[in-house]
A and B are shown apart, each in its own frame.
Chain A
Amino acid sequence: MKIIETKDLTKVYRENGNEVVALENLNISFEQGEFTAVVGPSGSGKTTFLNMVGGIDSPTSGEIRIDDVNIGTLKSSKMIDFRMRNIGFVFQSYNLIPVLTARENVEFIMFLQNRSQAERTKRSAELLSAVGLGDRMNSRPAKLSGGQQQRVAVARALASRPKFILADEPTANLDSKSAETLLEIMEKLNHDENITFIFSTHDQRVVKKARRVITLVDGKVESDVNTKLHE
């Protein structure tokens, strides 16, 4: 079942009067439960693609359909609500709220969704345990390592029970061990709970774990390979 589908997705930036084509006529679809890496050199359009699919940037032309909803037709307020309920984000530099504890960071999105205290407490504890931070729930980000912070970010992304998670270079700031741990956690979540993960990455460790690798060059799809099939 397709949960994400792009049709002739194009993004053109205008900088100092010059047009820069970031994405050009992309036609890509994602099934529920995929574990996909979007790779490519710097400036190939990976982050732009993730921003488009995540609804935090709008296309110049073309369509993005999520569960058959053309998100380009949604008004700004509906789009924000849609993002909150359907898309999880993991960022390269974690972007946790420094004044909140790990648990409060995970709970925050559920606050926004007006979930009950009991539900928030239960789910945040479950998620932090799932990412191996059950004993660091009351620590603030500054007291956590980079890998631990990124795991909190994954738990936060999962808190709203999203349809899929977009992770922009999630291992870029992590050491090998932390990156390995993070990838294992995400792989397990993907396997056990059928959560869809889409990464943009340069990291070969991520690429190796991915079951599908889409290579972008100059805003176009150079290759789209189902690696597990090839194995």
Chain B
Amino acid sequence: MEEQNKIHKLTIPQSRKLLPFGEAGWGLFSLSWKNIWRNKIRSLIIIFAIVFGVIGGVGIVAFMNGLFHQRIQMAIGNEVSNIQIHNSHFQSNKELNDTIIDISKLTSVLDTCKKIKAYSLRIKTVTMINSANNGEGIMLNGIEPEKEKKVTGIYKYLKEGNYFTDKRKNGILIGEKLAGKLKIKMRSKVVVTMQSASGNITNAAFKVIGIYKTNNSSFDGCNAYVRKSDLAAIIGFGSQTAHEIAISINNDNESSGLVASLKAKYNEDKLSIESWDEIMPELGLFTGVMNYILYIFMSIIFLALSFGIINTMLMAVMERVREIGMLMAIGMNKTKIFLMIMLETILLMLTGSIAGLIFSYVIVNLFGKYGINLSTVASGLSDIGFSSMVYPFLETEEYIKIVIMVLIAGIISSIVPARKALKLNPSEAIRKL
């Protein structure tokens, strides 16, 4: 203790005691930045490697984002909507008589809910559709066209005909793929065989008034639309009977909250209230995958790049043994030596990554605007519900996540070269040639 007190006699006042950051920190930052450019070619090579790595990673993630996001949006917009309500038995058995009980009570609540943009009642029945040439099993959807327009966008995909503007009864809208299977065209007649409410098998003739083609050929091949009133009359349902209420909401992020509040209200009514990701769990999986795909791809890329950076920084340290020894001798403590090497590594990674992110941003936005045309594999993509035109995108927060990952990778990569520097003995290092 006495020895320590004596030291203060020699040293500058306590108020000027060295701080790990502050002006000294800025000095370190400045020195580290300059150190990066000592060997320009070596630094540029690793920076280019990072730039291409980031562009590659961001490109793949943005492409996957675009692909999955479009699939989900198409599924919500054309197929399932945000939320569906059914009789709790309907989804498992698709029984004709498993209709929604006390539907007027439910719709009166839906009418007042501000989060709901629109909803549509549907009758759904599994039927056999026959043309003069062929027959197929399909899901026949009885819809209220004007309400359905606000919930799903099938009307946007009409290739021929109209969306029930033809007031004549028993018009049917079929997918292009189904039309192909049945070998029919506009104004052809088809016969639909189905079960009636009384349990009998009944037939009805429909005239094709429109042919649609979405990006999901599987969907197009097994779904047809008729007016709900026409279908109700054939089956023997009342005008308010429905198997399904499809709900479109203003903000999809509120789906699960709205589902929870509706479930809390109507649990006793034996209703099944589900959001789109519960109805189509494979799409829910996409969302889950999208959340991790960025981390997976970028982690792999940064892991690979880290080895190159560690090598570069180790070379940089080994070339500067004498200088580091001198810095230690004149009073640069271990923390600052460590920080200097760490800053050099992080700055090297950040320079490459920020340049990579800027290029990526331009490229992603360019392709996001004009799209990537995958028409050569369009039919394969369409079979699994994906669009052949992909518009890649990356959210701002994902760019931020990448920068954070760069910082983490930089810190981890700096440990080996920084430790190497710390192990130097100043008296030996100074004498190194």
Contacts and interface: CB of A to CB of B under 8 A. Distances in A.
Partners in one complex: yes
Interface of A: 47, 51, 54, 56-57, 66-70, 73-74, 76-78, 80-86, 89, 91, 93, 95, 97-100, 107-109, 111-117, 156-157, 160-161, 163
A89 B322 CA distance: 14
Contacts of B430: 56, 91, 95
Output the residue of B18, B323, B328 with the most chain A CB within 10 A.
Answer: B18
27 contacts: A47-B431, A54-B329, A56-B426, A66-B10, A73-B3, A74-B3, A78-B7, A80-B331, A80-B333, A81-B11, A81-B18, A84-B18, A84-B330, A84-B332, A85-B10, A86-B10, A98-B38, A107-B27, A108-B31, A111-B27, A112-B27, A112-B331, A114-B17, A114-B23, A157-B330, A160-B331, A161-B12
A86 B11 contact: yes
B38 A85 contact: no
B54 to A, nearest CB: 26
Interface string B1-19: 0011011011110001111
Contact of B333 (A77, A93, A160): A77
Contacts of A111: 23-24, 26-28
B373 interface: no
A123 B385 CA distance: 73
B7 A82 contact: yes
B246 to A, nearest CB: 66
A56 B329 contact: yes
B323 A114 contact: no
Interface residues of B, number: 40
A100 B27 CA distance: 11
> Which of B6, B9, B10 is the most central at the interface, judged by chain A CB atoms within 10 Å of its CB?
B10
B31 A56 contact: no
Contacts of A108: 27, 31
Nearest to B20: A114
Contact of B19 (A51, A76, A114, A156): A114
Contacts of A117: 23
B288 interface: no
Given A86-B11, A97-B323, A56 B27 contact: no
A101 B11 CA distance: 27
B238 interface: no
Contacts of A115: 16, 23
B34 A99 contact: yes
